Amino acid sequence: MDDILNQYLTTRQYTNTLCKPLQTEDFTPQSAAFASPPKWHIAHTTWFFEEMILKTYSPNYQIFDNEYSYLFNSYYNTIGKRIERHNRGLITRPNIDIVFKYRDYVDQHMTQLLKTTDNETIKSLTVLGVNHEQQHQELLLTDLKYTFSLNPICPKYTDLNFVEDTNTDTGWLDVTEGVYNIGHDTDGFCFDNELGMHKTYIQPFSINKALVTNQEFIEFIEADGYKTANYWLDEGWHWINSNKITQPLYWIKIKNTWHHYTLSGLKPVNPDAILSHISYFEAAAFAFYKGMRLPTEFEWEVASKHLNWGKRWEWTNSAYLPYPNFEIAKGAVGEYNGKFMSNQMVLRGASVATSKNHSRHTYRNFFQSHTQWQFAGIRLAK
């Protein structure tokens, strides 16, 4: 269990590190239903270990606070009632000091448990909890960015703005037709939605070695891309017009120059940097504009072994659906992925905000088509 304990403690510490630049007032506000407050993230990830492991597997464990199961449950219906998602910012009590005491309390009990057991179920649940917390580490950053972006003074979180990186490769990768294996097949950790290795026939295609840059998307804007219905899926056209969307999230024109809010404050858009915070609708429209398309998630997985990826989540043209022989686990952990396989699109890869050791070729991220606030970009195929 030494390796598992080290993974656990390292992950928990990194969450605390992400919170160090924050002031007390930063922990509680919720700017949108999809953007949870930092305090909720750090409490929810702690609740996961208490609920899924300590309550069942730690003898004589005393629950820190009975109210927390209601306050910090996310979407686990089998566990009980929970606060509505859009009300997470109303949790002014417990205060942030108590929430960190809660983290310390659970960490102490998890450390003691992991030092004194070789139970395989505890091991697998702990690894799941570590990966769950890594997901929330990225969400903490993306949610915080959205909240800070609505502050008129454009506050700075860190010197690193996460959106200045550029492509290192150019040109196209040609992939031959054939039958390929898709899905996770190693002994390492994966989520259940990656299981069910299966064969998929893929037509010959080409995929860009580079992600779309800000300059390329500026050309789309200047070509009236947001005003040309033919580029857009019908639902996407309705979405941009209903919400008056005319440029990527966080972009604003100041004195005829594009700027964008970043985690290091308001900055001019670097034309050479990789585009970020793009929805599936915008990605698909840009592909239509270029006379190309987005890759399917299966094409991406095959090509990824020969691509540099990991700077942006990459939208694919695949709906989020179960692989053959997908099985939903029993109990609360069965609610982790399977029940969301409706009205979602798959993103592949990782982003500059993704936690270390939390990416692999078979990873299947998923969000609704209008989602913009993640570090998502575009890779074209043809």
Give the pLDDT confidence score for residue 337 in this predicted structure: 78
Within the chain, which residues score under 50 in pLDDT?
Answer: none
Task: Supply the pLDDT for residue 78.
Answer: 78
Token digits of residue 202: 């893929």
Which pLDDT score, from 0 to 100, does residue 335 have? 61
Say if residues 273 and 163 touch (Cβ distance below 8 Å): yes
Q: Which residues contact 37 (CB under 8 A, 6 or more apart)?
A: 27, 28, 29, 30, 88, 89, 91, 143, 147
Q: H or E element: which one contains 265?
A: strand 265-268
Q: What is the pLDDT of residue 77?
A: 79
Sign of the four-CA dihedral 21, 23, 24, 27: negative
Tell me the per-residue pLDDT of 263-315, one tens digit each, with 9 for 90 and over.
Answer: 999 999 999 999 999 999 999 999 999 999 999 999 999 999 999 999 999 99
Q: Rounded to an integer, what distance in angstroms lies between the CA atom of residue 212 and that of residue 167?
A: 9
How far apart (Å, rounded) are the C-alpha atoms in residues 251 and 83?
Answer: 33
pLDDT at 75: 81
- Contact in structure between 175 and 347 (CB atoms under 8 Å): no
The reported pLDDT for the residue numbered 62 is 98
What distance in Å separates the CA atoms of residue 85 and residue 40, rounded to the nearest whole number? 10
Q: pLDDT tens for residues 308-357?
A: 999 999 999 999 999 998 888 777 777 677 888 999 999 999 999 999 99
Specify the amino acid at residue 297: E
